[in-house]
Amino acid sequence: MRKGFRKSKSYMIAFCTLMVVAGCGIRMAKDDPADFHGMISLEAAYSLVSGEAASYDQEYQNRLELLEDPAIRQAKLTPYTKRPYLLYYGDLTQKIDYPCSNRAMAKYYKKESVWADWKTYHQIFPD
């Protein structure tokens, strides 16, 4: 009897903890359904379930194909349209000689230049 009580007590603690975490997530999502920035596991689940992570990966693979092609010396890349909170770290600029990202990426992939085409992006996705 005592052993069963301990087991059910453990389940009750786990259940209560889960409810508190879920409640916090629901409370945070009440204002903005995609705003789980304080809860990493919920943010990860949202990115996976919504397809945002898969879209980001596809865009990344498209970029990688251009960057790894030795025939392309000047890589004009499309800015990311999906930006999962846990995966997206920033993007390239239109400035070919921008040292922090563009020039560093060009050097890494042995390109003359690498930049993002933000003009086309803003035509497709106006603010």
Q: Do 45 and 98 lie in a common domain?
A: no
- Which DSSP symbol is given to 99? I
In a domain, residue 55? The reply is no
- Mean residue pLDDT of the chain comes to 77
In a domain, residue 69? The reply is yes
User: What is the number of other CB atoms lying within 10 angstroms of the CB of residue 17?
Assistant: 10
The number of distinct structural domains making up the chain is 2
pTM of the model: 0.62
For residue 34, pLDDT beyond 60: no
Domain that holds residue 28: 2-50
Per-residue pLDDT tens over the stretch 38-55:
677 788 888 888 899 999
Q: CA–CA separation, 95 vs 93, rounded Å?
A: 5
For residue 27, pLDDT beyond 80: no
- Which DSSP symbol is given to 101? I
Percent helix / strand / coil, the chain, rounded to 5: 60, 5, 35
